[in-house]
């Protein structure tokens, strides 16, 4: 069931995002998607010879980033654009929108790894737009703006957590 949903999310099927929006039991699955993608990303970096000691920190950072992205998206989408959704609905849809990220495990491939990472990033943003559009019941333009603002919040959270988690280890703390 989870794998099927992830594949459908990666295919950008709007019906999947409607399905997980309405299925309150899918929050755990969305959480698992975030964890699976974080592990795949960490393994891709490890295989590329760019570390791996921070795998647990990477998973924690991904989870906290997902929570922040979903909350900011919920706040902007409902307050600024009049969308109708709960934070839980956005947690589920945005969690599943990260499904293409499993391909980040392929970042170790010489030359292609960077291209794969960039393509997956764009793919996940596109999935995020569909996820937000379906969850908030807004038009695509409003979904794009909401996703960009939410993603910027995600980047800030991930950067701060990265500095706290990895910076402390670099300083010997």
Residues 19, 1: contact at Cβ < 8 Å? no
**Percentage of the chain with pLDDT > 70?**
92
Tell me the pLDDT of the chain averaged across its residues: 90
Residue 49 clears pLDDT 80, i.e. is over it: no
Of 61, 64, 59, 2, the closest CA to residue 27 belongs to 2
Residues 103, 40: contact at Cβ < 8 Å? yes
Q: Work out the pLDDT band at 59, boundaries 50, 70, 90.
A: confident
Is 111 in a helix, a strand, or coil? coil
Residue 38 clears pLDDT 90, i.e. is over it: yes
Residue 130 clears pLDDT 60, i.e. is over it: yes
For the chain, what is the radius of gyration of the CA atoms?
Answer: 16
pTM over cut 0.75: yes
Most confident of 46-60, 77-91, 151-165: 77-91
Residues 71-84: what's their mean pLDDT? 94
């Amino acid at each position: 069931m989870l794998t099927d949903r992830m594949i459908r999310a990666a295919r950008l099927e709007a019906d999947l995002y409607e399905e997980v929006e309405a299925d309150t039991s899918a929050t755990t699955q969305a959480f698992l998607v975030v964890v699976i993608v974080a592990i795949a990303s960490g393994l891709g970096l490890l295989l590329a010879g760019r570390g791996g000691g921070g795998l647990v920190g990477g998973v924690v950072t991904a989870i906290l980033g997902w929570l922040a992205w979903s909350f900011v998206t919920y706040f902007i989408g409902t307050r600024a654009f009049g969308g109708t959704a709960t934070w839980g609905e956005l947690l589920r849809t945005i969690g599943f929108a990260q499904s293409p990220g499993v391909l980040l495990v392929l970042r170790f491939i010489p030359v292609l790894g960077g291209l794969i990472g960039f393509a997956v990033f764009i793919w996940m943003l596109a999935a995020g737009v569909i996820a937000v559009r379906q969850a908030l019941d807004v038009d695509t333009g409003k979904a794009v703006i909401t996703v960009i603002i939410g993603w910027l919040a995600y980047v800030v959270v991930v950067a701060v957590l990265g500095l706290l988690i990895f910076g402390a280890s670099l300083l010997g703390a």
